[in-house]
Structure 1
Amino acid sequence: MWGLRLGIFLLMRILQWGEDRRFDEMRENLAKLAVFWIFQAVWVWTVSLPVTFVNASNRNPSLQAADIIGWIIWSVGILVEATADQQKLTFKNSPDNRGKWCDVGVWKYSRHPNYFGEIFLWWGIFVAATPVLKNAEWLVILGPIFLTLLLLFVSGIPLLEESADKKYGNIPAYRHYKRKTSPLILLPPALYGNMPGWFKTTFLFEFPLYSRGLPQETWSRSQLETSVHKIS
Structure 2
Amino acid sequence: MGTVIDSHFLGLTAIITVGYQLLFFIITALLKFDKVTDFAGSTNFIILAILTLVVKGSWHFRQIILSLLVIVWGLRLALFLLMRILQWGEDRRFDEMRGNLGKLAIFWIFQAVWVWTVSLPVTVVNASDRKPSLEAVDVIGWIMWSIGFSIEAAADQQKLTFKNMSENRGKWCNVGLWKYTRHPNYFGEILLWWGIFVASTPALEGAEWLVIIGPIFLTMLLLFVSGIPLLEESADKKYGNVDAYRLYKRKTSPLVPLPQVVYGNLPSWFKTIFLFEFPLYSRHLPQETPNW
TM-score w.r.t. structure 1 length?
Answer: 0.92
Partner of 2:282: 211
Partner of 2:52: none
Bigger RCO (CA 8 Å, 6+ sep)? 1
Partner of 2:245: 174
**1:35 deviation in Å?**
1.5
**1:218 deviation in Å?**
4.5
Residues 122-165 of structure 1 show CA distances to partners (whole Å, capped at 9, x for unaligned) of: 10000000001111111110110111111111111111111111
Query: Does 1:142 find its partner at 2:225?
Result: no
CA distance in 2, matches of 1:140, 1:202: 25
Q: 2:261 aligns with which of 187, 190, 212?
A: 190
Q: Which moved more, 1:29-38 or 1:195-204?
A: 29-38
Partner of 1:2: 73
Amino acid at match of 1:146: F
CA distance in 2, matches of 1:91, 1:37: 30
CA distance in 2, matches of 1:218, 1:109: 27
Aligned length: 221
Deviation beyond 6 Å, 4+ runs, structure 1:
none
**1:196 deviation in Å?**
1.1
Gaps of 5+ in 2: 1-71
**1:26 deviation in Å?**
2.1
CA distance in 2, matches of 1:171, 1:19: 27
Partner of 1:40: 111
Amino acid at match of 2:262: L
Partner of 1:15: 86
CA distance in 1, matches of 2:151, 2:180: 11
1:1-232 to structure 2, matched below 5 A, reads 1-218=72-289
**1:219 deviation in Å?**
6.1
CA distance in 2, matches of 1:28, 1:76: 41
> What SS does the corresponding residue of 1:26 show, helix, strand or coil?
coil
Residues 69-104 of structure 1 show CA distances to partners (whole Å, capped at 9, x for unaligned) of: 000001111111111111111111111111100000
Amino acid at match of 1:210: Y
> What SS does the corresponding residue of 2:257 show, helix, strand or coil?
coil
**1:21 deviation in Å?**
2.3
TM-score w.r.t. structure 2 length?
Answer: 0.73
**1:27 deviation in Å?**
2.5
Partner of 2:19: none
CA distance in 1, matches of 2:97, 2:251: 36
Let me know the Cα RMSD of the aligned residues: 1.4
**1:16 deviation in Å?**
1.6
